[in-house]
A and B are shown apart, each in its own frame.
Chain A
Amino acid sequence: MKKSIAALALGLVSLAARADNVKIGLLAPITGSWASEGQEMKKNVELLVDEVNAKGGVAGKQVQLVIEDDGGDPRTASLAAQRLATQGVVAVVGTYGSAVTEATQNIFDEAGIVQVANGSTAVRLTEKGLKNFLRTCPRDDEQGRVGAALLEKMGAKKIALLHDSSAYSKGLADEINALLKAKKMNVVFFDALTPKEQDYSAILTRLKAAGPDVVFFTGYYPEAGLLLKQKKQMGWKVPFIGGDAINNPDLVKIAGKEAAEGFLFLSPPVPKDLDTPEAKAYVASYQKKYGEAPQSIYGVLAGDGFRVVAASIQATGSTTSGEKIRAGLGALKDFPGFTGKIAFNAKGDRIGELYRVYKVDANGNFVLQK
């Protein structure tokens, strides 16, 4: 008798508990090439979910976080998105990598689930008219504008553009190329290197032969580190600039402090440079829980993605309607995100300028330039 009452009570309690949850999904590369980004995304969002639940949840319900791994690969991602879509989530934060995100957009859109991407900067993602897709990260065309402006400010007369044929890298290089052409600046070199190789001396020699004043490399940090190191070995002193995929402390490790000194790159502000009081408090609480400060800005952008979704649910009171949550997101004005003020335009892009210029100093530190 007692056992069945206990079972009944347990059943009722769990039924009640379930009815009181609002499910939010996180799609992240927990494994695969971008595992370091995915793990940080997870840590950021989990911390925030705990904080929100401790304060009573959103719209009176506790938040239940459902995490799925996209493996950094479009096909795995589409399966992971299918899984999320069948588990009753009302919104999803994620993911990192434009090609990976793209594979999941239609699935979430067709299921009526709001998707807020944190690390997908390809322009075309918000040009498809998918009304349930938004992003807290900037777009490559903004980075292109900042890059072109920087080149102009430096007074560069002959510019070399180097990419690695990946979607992100070539896209950014194309953007900058177009802007430079419009400003009638001289692009003397435009080609790609093969990523994941070791020896870039052949490319560097060819670059040198083209005689540029500055080289803009839009690829990732492993190759950038090798380029800087080998350029120094060659004794070639022309300055290099990088895009935001360069932003990783290993860059200095690979290139060596001497070779990396003076290197400039574009990036959204790194977590330690976030200057609002809430951001500083957040970084401190992250440090307290995990023993280290957040390393990647994309993890913090995922955190901001969660916070805007939570804010929208709280404001609209809706925990089940993707449409209402989307409308709530559109209505946000100057939401105090950790990464800056957040508001979305009709396409789902974040309004406002996020990119800054960074310089590597003699000690290998990344210093924000004003």
Chain B
Amino acid sequence: MHRRLVIGYSVTAAALAACPFLLGPYWLDVLNNVGLYVLLALSLNLILGDAGLFNMGHAAFYAVGAYTAAILNTRLQIPILWLLPASGLVAAVFAIAVARPVVHLRGDYLLIVTIGLGEIVRIALVNDVFGLTGGANGIFGISRPSVLGHRIRRPDEFFWLIWACVAATAFLFHRLEQSRFGRALTYLREDTVAAEGSGIPTARYRLLAFGLGAAWAGMTGTLYAAKMTIISPESFGFWESVVLFLMVILGGAGSIPGVAVGAALVVGLPELFRGFANARMLVFGLVMMVMMVVRPQGLLPFRTPRYKASDLKAAFGSEGAGEPAAPGAPGSGIAP
């Protein structure tokens, strides 16, 4: 991985590891919220940033995962952490099923469809669909997670759980970025027709991106349910989807550290500026408009992967490959 990135991550990890010993339960809880949102933003990043699909209904997948875990936990008494894969799977299947008919739509139309989907899911939750969701009351009495027999209850305990998940997710998503699938997603985001022409099954990969992103959001939903012990439809409305969308765009679509920073700022700053509750939203809107003019690529934008010339030479050998482009030539992306 890029050296600066590694340094950045190490510093952040060290700072975070010190937090439970320095901060009180209130600020730890804020950091827990930040952690959950980082997970959600990373999951949306797969869909919006990597695959370039305008999804403003991501809260629906979050909700599906959270409710799946909540229902199975309260009705069948399955320990909540065991439900992580189940909630991820249900959310993924749901996402693929609903995305299948619409994945070919043009950008802004897909946006509207996802908004509609998000609303339909929310209304279904409020109306107690299938008698499972508890209506506007939601579901309560979700059990606390327990790891190796130790029950996780307090903010500092949740801190380790959540941020461990964040670390694992960031690592996995970085690997995904470098993988064939990840590179294909970038390709089809930049130029769908060329990608299809190069043999990438764009429709299938888009659906996969939806599925994976939804799965991660679903699993985060399980963590959220375990932390709050009650979930209700209010937490999964249109506004949630908008906030997630913004975290990805403002942080830098497609860039994992960018999106994480975006999440941290969008959640953390309002806590620091709690006094200005009403003007806060006004400023938010203004920031959005200004950012798009001034820095549309986001705070920490996605950088095309760079390879060392020596690595490339080693990979391809120097016979028959032709001369690599001169270092520093525009668009070559190769660092000497």
**Chain A interface (Cβ within 8 Å of chain B)?**
31, 69, 71, 73-75, 78-79, 82-83, 85-86, 99, 102-103, 106, 110, 122, 124, 128, 165-167, 170-171, 192
> Are A74's CB and B136's CB within 8 A?
no
A69–B26 Cα gap in the complex (Å)? 14
Interface pair B126/A124, CB less than 8 Å apart: no
CB contact between A170 and one of B30, B136, B278 (< 8 Å): that residue: B136
Q: A85-B25, A124-B140, A170-B135 are in contact. Are A103 and B230 (CB under 8 A)?
A: yes
Verify A82–B136 contact, CB threshold 8 A. Answer: no
Partner of A99, one of B33, B141, B155, B232: B232
A residues less than 8 Å from B30 (CB atoms) = 79
Contact (Cβ within 8 A) B29 A99 = no
Interface residues of B in 20-49 (CB under 8 A from A): 24-26, 29-30, 33
- Report the nearest B residue to A168, measured CB to CB: B136
Set of chain B residues within 8 Å of A75, measured between Cβ atoms: 33, 228, 235
Residue of B nearest to A87 (CB): B26
Which residues on A sit within 8 Å (CB–CB) of B229? 106
Return A108 CB to nearest CB of chain B, in Å: 13
Q: Which residue of A lies closest to B227 (CB)?
A: A78
**Docked complex: B123-169 residues within 8 A CB-CB of A:** 126-127, 135-138, 140-141, 153, 155
Q: Known pairs A78-B29, A86-B26, A167-B136; list 4 more (Cβ under 8 Å).
A: A124-B140, A165-B126, A165-B127, A167-B137
Check: B196 CB closer than 8 A to any chain A CB: no
User: What 0/1 readout, one digit per residue, does chain B (72-83) give for beta carbons within 8 Å of chain A?
Assistant: 000000000000
Complex Cα spacing A106 to B155, Å:
13
A99 touches B235 (CB 8 A): no
Q: Tell me, in angstroms, the Cα distance from A31 to B235 when the chains sit together.
A: 18
Check if B234 sits within 8 Å of A73, measured CB to CB: yes
With A73-B234, A110-B153 already in contact, the answer to whether A165 and B136 are too (CB < 8 A) is yes
In the complex, which residues of chain A have a beta carbon less than 8 angstroms from the beta carbon of B235?
74-75
Q: Is the interface of A mostly helix, strand, loop or mixed?
A: helix
Answer whether A71 and B136 are a contact pair too, CB < 8 Å, given A78-B228, A110-B153: no
**Does B272 make an interface contact (CB < 8 A)?**
no
Nearest chain-B residue to A78 (Cβ)? Answer: B228
Give the CA-CA distance A69 to B270 in the complex, in Å: 14
Q: Does B277 contact A (CB under 8 A)?
A: yes
A167 to B24 Cα, complex, angstroms: 33
Complex Cα gap A110–B229 (Å): 14
B26: chain A residues within 8 A (beta carbon): 79, 82-83, 86
Closest A residue to B24 by beta carbon equals A86
A-B contact pairs, 13 of them (CB 8 A): A31-B278, A69-B277, A75-B235, A78-B29, A86-B25, A99-B137, A103-B230, A110-B153, A122-B137, A128-B141, A167-B137, A170-B135, A171-B137
Q: Report yes or no: A102 in contact with B230, Cβ–Cβ below 8 A.
A: yes
Q: Nearest Cβ distance between residue A35 and chain B, in whole angstroms? A: 10
Say yes or no: A192-B29 contact (C-beta < 8 A), given A74-B232, A99-B232.
no
User: Which residues in B have their C-beta under 8 angstroms from that of A79?
Assistant: 26, 29-30, 33, 271
Interface residues on chain B, size class: 20 to 34
In the complex, the chain B residue whose C-beta lies closest to that of A110 is: B153
Q: How far is the CB of A92 from chain B (nearest CB, A)?
A: 15
Query: B129 → chain A, closest Cβ, in Å?
Result: 12
B interface, CB within 8 angstroms of A: 24-26, 29-30, 33, 126-127, 135-138, 140-141, 153, 155, 228-230, 232, 234-235, 271, 277-278
Cα separation A295 to B183 with both chains bound (whole Å): 63
**Which B residues are in CB contact (< 8 Å) with A122?**
137
Q: Taking the nearest CB of chain B, how far is it from the CB of A336, in angstroms?
A: 35
Q: A31-B278, A82-B25, A86-B25 are in contact. Are A166 and B228 (CB under 8 A)?
A: no
Give complex CA distance A124, B136 in Å: 14
* A residues less than 8 Å from B126 (CB atoms): 165
Hey, which chain A residues are within 8 Å of B141, CB to CB? Answer: 128
Which A residues touch B140, using CB under 8 A? 102, 124
Distance A69 CA – B135 CA, assembled complex (angstroms): 26
A96 to chain B, nearest CB (A): 15
A99 to B127, CA, bound (A): 16
| Distance of A165 Cα from B141 Cα, bound (Å) | 21
Cα–Cα distance between A167 and B126 once the two chains are bound (Å): 9
Chain A hits for B135, CB < 8 A: 165, 167, 170
Which residues of the other chain, A, contact B277 by a CB distance below 8 angstroms?
A: 31, 69, 71
Shortest B44–chain A CB gap in Å is 19
What residues on B are CB-neighbors of A102 within 8 Å? 140, 230
A299 CB, nearest partner CB in chain B, Å: 21
- CB nearest to A102 among chain B residues: B230
A82 vs B29: C-alpha distance when bound (angstroms): 8
Specify the chain B residue showing the minimal Cβ separation from A79: B29
**B266 to A: closest C-beta gap in Å:** 14
Q: A301: shortest Cβ distance to chain B, in Å?
A: 22
B240 to chain A, nearest CB (A): 10
What is the CB-to-nearest-CB distance from A55 to chain B, in angstroms, rounded to a whole number?
33
Which of chain A's residues has its CB closest to B135's CB? A170
Q: How many angstroms from the CA of A331 to the CA of B235 in the assembled complex?
A: 39
Shortest Cβ distance from B230 into A: residue: A102
Closest to A31 in B: B277
Q: Could you say which residues of chain A place their CB within 8 Å of the CB of B137?
A: 99, 122, 124, 167, 170-171
Nearest chain A residue, comparing its CB with the CB of B154: A110
Contact A103–B136 (Cβ < 8 Å): no
How many Å lie between the Cα of A103 and that of B232 in the bound state? 10
Q: How near does chain A come to B234, taking the closest CB pair, in angstroms? A: 7
Contacts of B155 in A (CB 8 A): 82
Q: Which 6 A-B pairs have the closest CB atoms?
A: A167-B136, A167-B137, A82-B26, A166-B136, A31-B277, A165-B126
Greatest chain A CB density within 10 A among B127, B155, B234, B271 is at B234
Name the residue of chain B whose CB is nearest to the CB of A99: B232
What is the CA–CA distance of A85 and B26 in the complex, to the nearest angstrom?
A: 9
Would B234 and A74 count as touching, CB distance under 8 A?
A: yes
Bound: A170/B138 CA distance, A: 12
Docked pose: A78 CA to B127 CA in angstroms: 25
Residues of B within 8 A of A31 (CB): 277-278
Bound: A71/B155 CA distance, A: 21
A6 to chain B minimum Cβ distance, whole angstroms, is 32
- Chain A contacts of B127 at CB under 8 A? 165, 192
B98 to chain A, nearest CB (A): 22
